[in-house]
Amino acid sequence: MSVDGDAGKLKTEADEPGWEVDPDDEWGVAVVEAVGRQLRLRREAKEMRAADFGRRLGYGEDMVYKIEGGKRIARPEYMEKADEVLDAGGLLKAMNEDLEKVRYPKKVREITQMEAKAVEIGAYGCSSLSGLLQTPEHARALFEVWQPSYSEGEVERGVVARMARQSVFDRDPAPALNFVQEEATLRRRVGGTMERRRQFERLLEVGQLRNVTLQVMPMDSGPHPGMDGRIHLLKFADGTAIGRSDGAFNGRPISEPKQLRIIELRFGTIRALALPPGDSLALIERLLGET
């Protein structure tokens, strides 16, 4: 298979937003620098100039130097082509697993790691859909209206990181996932018609999974304990848990049993007041039909 780049324009930083290194992420910086060093050593061992190597991969010389210098995160296809061009026998390609994690912001990486260990996850959303339920298009639309504005690279990193969290649906054994969404978060016009249809279809798909309970809090409901903001609750196999509620304990994550009971009580009450799962899916189907 040919690995030569196209005869046209070689890729530059402007062609790949969102692959910058976060300088405040010490572990991420160390990983990217180590990968870049391996790429440079193997290229030099082949006595290949950076410009020639870049052309083989379809990248400009400046991009090669930035990736090798730990200033840019190499895309998966870059590592795959580099592995072949440099006869690395799969060693460079294998580094994609660590590079994938580096691309997620440190805060998101920590959340993802906790969700990957949880045996039960509960999430209540009052102003927007839970990140675990969003489609890429829905997430992008939300990031694009954030203030102060994100750069295109930051938007791209945010979308990728949010989608990475959804690997929780692929776990085996699967965790128990309980979602409650305010009806207003479903009716808000995020994105165009097709984007909204895909989001409703995603909700219906997820809501029919055996390990998922998806409920909607109707707009005509009375006051309830979730009106102060979002709730996120994770329970682990060893009996411990961690939770966070916008309206309790200054919104910080807590794990102390007495405080956790308050968050669990709030979430349990919200679930009891929301529409049953069957009625909730029926409501989402109606919204899909109206779109």
pLDDT digits (tens, 9 = 90+) for 112-125: 889 989 999 999 99
Q: pLDDT-derived band of residue 187, with 50, 70 and 90 as boundaries?
A: very high
21: left (phi over 0), alpha (psi -120 to 50) or beta: beta
Pairwise CA distance, residues 10 & 116, whole Å: 38
Pairwise CA distance, residues 273 & 77, whole Å: 48
As a dihedral over the C-alpha atoms of residue 199, residue 182, residue 159, residue 243, rounded to 10 degrees, the angle is -140
Dmax over CA atoms of the chain, in Å, equals 72
Decide: 174 and 116 in contact? Cβ < 8 Å.
no
Q: Give the helix ranges, DSSP H, for 95-181.
A: 96-103, 106-117, 136-144, 152-165
Residue in the structure block whose two tokens are 């504005």: 149
As a dihedral over the C-alpha atoms of residue 26, residue 28, residue 33, residue 36, rounded to 10 degrees, the angle is -170
Instruction: Write the pLDDT tens digit of every residue in 130-185.
Output: 999 999 999 999 999 988 888 888 888 889 889 988 999 999 999 999 999 999 99
Decide: 63 and 73 in contact? Cβ < 8 Å.
no
Point out the least confidently predicted range of 1-10, 18-27, 86-95.
1-10
Decide: 20 and 32 in contact? Cβ < 8 Å.
no
Residue 133: what pLDDT? 98
Residue 134: what pLDDT? 97
Residue 5: what pLDDT? 45
Task: Retrieve residue 52's tokens.
Answer: 């020639």
> DSSP label at 248?
B
Instruction: Write the pLDDT tens digit of every residue in 213-240.
Output: 999 999 999 999 888 889 999 999 999 9
Pick 95 or 26 by higher pLDDT. 95
Instruction: Write the pLDDT tens digit of every residue in 24-63.
Output: 788 889 999 999 999 999 999 999 999 999 999 999 999 9
In this predicted structure, the answer to whether residue 111 has a pLDDT above a threshold of 90 is no
Map out the domains of the chain with their CATH numbers. 13-103 (1.10.260.40), 117-130+167-290 (no CATH)
Residue 8: what pLDDT? 61
Decide: 214 and 130 in contact? Cβ < 8 Å.
no
58, 209, 210 from 9: Cα distances, Å: 8, 45, 49
Residue 182 β-bridge partners: 217
Decide: 135 and 101 in contact? Cβ < 8 Å.
no
In this predicted structure, the answer to whether residue 6 has a pLDDT above a threshold of 80 is no
